[in-house]
Chain A
Amino acid sequence: MSVNYTTVQWNRQKRLYDRIMLGIMALYLVTFSLLQLAFYPLISPETLIIRATGTLAFIMLQFILCIGPLARLDHRFLPLLYNRRHLGVTTFLIGAIHGVFNIIQFHSLGYVDPIFSVFASNTHYGSLQDFPFQVLGFFALVILFLMAATSHDFWLKNLSPRWWKSLHMLVYLAYGLLVFHVMLGVVQLEQSPMWIGFVGFGLLTLVALHLMAAGVEKKRLQEQMDKAAVGEGYYQVCSAEDIPENRAKMVYLEGQNIAVFRYEGKVSAVNNICRHQHGPIGEGKIVDGCITCPWHGYQYLPQNGQSPPPFTEKLETYDVKIVDGMVWVNPSPYPEGTERPAALVVGQK
Chain B
Amino acid sequence: MVPELRKRHRIIWQIGSVLLCLGFVAAVWVLPRPAPVGHWPKNELLPFTKVLASKTAGNLSFQLRQGENNLKQIEITQHRVMEQAVIQVFCNNVLQGTLGPQGVQRFNLDDTLSANPPYLIELVDAIDHKTIHQITLP
Q: Which A residues contact B (CB, under 8 angstroms)? A: 128-129, 165, 169, 172, 176, 179-180, 183-184, 187-188, 191, 196, 199-200, 203, 207, 210-211, 214, 217-218, 221, 252, 257, 273, 278-280
Report whether A257 and B23 are in contact in the complex, using a CB–CB cutoff of 8 Å. Answer: no
Report whether A128 and B27 are in contact in the complex, using a CB–CB cutoff of 8 Å. Answer: yes
Over the window 1-32 of chain B, the binary record of Cβ atoms lying under 8 Å from chain A Cβ atoms (1 yes, 0 no) is 11101101110111011011101101110111
Q: Which residue of A lies closest to B6 (CB)?
A: A217
* A279 neighbours in B (Cβ, 8 Å): 1
Within the assembled complex, what's the spacing in Å between the Cα atoms of A183 and B20? Answer: 11
| Closest-CB distance, B28 to chain A (whole angstroms) | 6
Within the assembled complex, what's the spacing in Å between the Cα atoms of A83 and B13? Answer: 23
Report whether B14 and A169 are in contact in the complex, using a CB–CB cutoff of 8 Å. Answer: no
| Closest-CB distance, A183 to chain B (whole angstroms) | 4
Q: Which residue of A lies closest to B9 (CB)?
A: A214
Going nearest first, the 4 A-B pairs with the smallest beta carbon separation are: A183-B27, A214-B10, A207-B17, A210-B13
With contact pairs A176-B16, A210-B13, A214-B9 given, residues A273 and B28 touching in the complex (Cβ less than 8 Å): no
Report whether A203 and B30 are in contact in the complex, using a CB–CB cutoff of 8 Å. Answer: no
Report whether A199 and B14 are in contact in the complex, using a CB–CB cutoff of 8 Å. Answer: no
With contact pairs A210-B9, A218-B10 given, residues A128 and B30 touching in the complex (Cβ less than 8 Å): yes
Within the assembled complex, what's the spacing in Å between the Cα atoms of A280 and B10? Answer: 16
Q: Which residue of A lies closest to B29 (CB)?
A: A128
Q: Which B residues contact A (CB, under 8 angstroms)? A: 1-3, 5-6, 8-10, 12-14, 16-17, 19-21, 23-24, 26-28, 30-32
Within the assembled complex, what's the spacing in Å between the Cα atoms of A179 and B26? Answer: 12
Report whether A191 and B19 are in contact in the complex, using a CB–CB cutoff of 8 Å. Answer: no
Report whether A257 and B3 are in contact in the complex, using a CB–CB cutoff of 8 Å. Answer: yes
Within the assembled complex, what's the spacing in Å between the Cα atoms of A145 and B117? Answer: 68
* B2 neighbours in A (Cβ, 8 Å): 257, 273, 278
Q: Which residue of A lies closest to B11 (CB)?
A: A214
* A207 neighbours in B (Cβ, 8 Å): 13, 16-17, 20-21
Within the assembled complex, what's the spacing in Å between the Cα atoms of A211 and B6? Answer: 12
| Closest-CB distance, A179 to chain B (whole angstroms) | 6
Report whether A210 and B27 are in contact in the complex, using a CB–CB cutoff of 8 Å. Answer: no
* A200 neighbours in B (Cβ, 8 Å): 24
Q: Which residue of B lies closest to A208 (CB)?
A: B17
Within the assembled complex, what's the spacing in Å between the Cα atoms of A210 and B28? Answer: 24
Report whether A214 and B1 are in contact in the complex, using a CB–CB cutoff of 8 Å. Answer: no
* B5 neighbours in A (Cβ, 8 Å): 165, 278
Interface of B is mostly: helix
* B21 neighbours in A (Cβ, 8 Å): 203, 207
Report whether B14 and A211 are in contact in the complex, using a CB–CB cutoff of 8 Å. Answer: yes
Interchain residue pairs with CB less than 8 A apart (19): A129-B31, A129-B32, A172-B12, A176-B19, A180-B23, A180-B27, A183-B23, A187-B28, A188-B32, A191-B31, A199-B24, A200-B24, A207-B17, A211-B14, A211-B17, A214-B10, A214-B13, A257-B3, A273-B1
Report whether A278 and B24 are in contact in the complex, using a CB–CB cutoff of 8 Å. Answer: no
Within the assembled complex, what's the spacing in Å between the Cα atoms of A160 and B24? Answer: 36
| Closest-CB distance, B10 to chain A (whole angstroms) | 4
With contact pairs A128-B27, A188-B27 given, residues A210 and B17 touching in the complex (Cβ less than 8 Å): yes
Q: Which residue of B lies closest to A274 (CB)?
A: B1
Within the assembled complex, what's the spacing in Å between the Cα atoms of A217 and B5? Answer: 12
Report whether A203 and B13 are in contact in the complex, using a CB–CB cutoff of 8 Å. Answer: no
With contact pairs A183-B24, A199-B24 given, residues A188 and B31 touching in the complex (Cβ less than 8 Å): yes
* B12 neighbours in A (Cβ, 8 Å): 169, 172
Within the assembled complex, what's the spacing in Å between the Cα atoms of A211 and B9? Answer: 9
Within the assembled complex, what's the spacing in Å between the Cα atoms of A169 and B27? Answer: 25
Find the residue from A176, A191, A214 having the highest chain B CB count within 10 A. A214
Q: Which residue of B lies closest to A214 (CB)?
A: B10
* B26 neighbours in A (Cβ, 8 Å): 128
Q: Which residue of B lies closest to A252 (CB)?
A: B3
Within the assembled complex, what's the spacing in Å between the Cα atoms of A273 and B13? Answer: 22
* A273 neighbours in B (Cβ, 8 Å): 1-2
Report whether B31 and A169 are in contact in the complex, using a CB–CB cutoff of 8 Å. Answer: no
Report whether B23 and A179 are in contact in the complex, using a CB–CB cutoff of 8 Å. Answer: yes
